[in-house]
Amino acid sequence: MSKLFFLLFLTSVCLSFSKDSKSYLLQTETDLYYPINYGQLDDGKVQIFVGLLDEKLHRISTDRSSNFDFFKEAKPLDYYNYWEQKGEEDYYILLTKVVYVLDKEVDFFNESLLTNLEFLQKKMPDYDLEKISTNKFHIDCGFLSPSFDYDLNFYRPPFTDNRVSRIEEFVKQINPELGSPTLSVLQHNHSFSRVMMHKTSKMSVCVSNYYPYGDEKTIEVNYTLNYIHELPPNFLGGYKLLLKEIKSGIVDLIVNTRAVCATL
């Protein structure tokens, strides 16, 4: 049964969820290369792609929309080279791409705000956050959920870090219409605790790019690569339950973020 509680961890990887998910805001896309739908974004919608592969890098779902090529479309996000260092370990691979609009100008989102503990805590009210150092945090997700640490690194063009530059070139090929972001935030989630002696996740890397949009608005595009040890058991819904909760977590975090930004 401990696998059930594993669900609680996944949406803490750059995300947070609650019981009252605004799932009607989600527009699920069929592949990673979906174009930006500005009309839907203006209406408050959230475009999302979610894909899941098994330990052999095969598609788990029979739904073709969940498919992606690990080496071409996911591994480029593996900034810390976990894959090359994994040894005998195998992982499930979860890849997401999320696009949405925030009603603040792009310069509002800066290093000071995005490392502000009060701001982050309001975005994720169900979790306890601790600021360990300038850009490092610890998250306690509560009873029967793993805790973990995450680090933030901030980059602006021109991207002089070679690995970040390669990531930015990769995502620019996916949506060339966006050009270069004003700000790119790389979040590394690691040191996940066990739940009832069971492993939860190896790591995740989130790349959040901020682009100016219209009059005093911002488009955020978020890519997240997760290496996962276990999935929910089939009798609880298996991967379908996992994907449902992931989507729920994404939209709820965005709703929280919009609400917090509106007060600032």
CATH code (residue 136): 3.30.530.20
- The segments of the chain whose pLDDT lies below 50 read 1-19
Per-residue confidence (pLDDT) for residue 126, from 0 to 100: 84
Distances (CA, A) of 180 to 40, 183, 184, 211: 22, 9, 9, 8
- Domain containing residue 133: 2-262
Q: Which of 241, 194, 264 is nearest to 61 (CA)?
A: 241
Per-residue confidence (pLDDT) for residue 204, from 0 to 100: 94
Per-residue confidence (pLDDT) for residue 19, from 0 to 100: 46
Say whether pTM exceeds 0.95.
no
Q: Residues 213, 245, 252, 117: is their CA dihedral positive or negative?
A: negative
Per-residue confidence (pLDDT) for residue 197, from 0 to 100: 64
For the stretch 211-255, pLDDT in tens is 999 989 999 999 999 999 987 777 777 788 778 878 888 998 999
Task: Count up the domains in the chain and report the number.
Answer: 1
C-beta separation of 249 from 256 below 8 A? no
Per-residue confidence (pLDDT) for residue 196, from 0 to 100: 64
Cα-flanking dihedrals φ and ψ of residue 144, to 5°?
60, 25
Per-residue confidence (pLDDT) for residue 8, from 0 to 100: 42
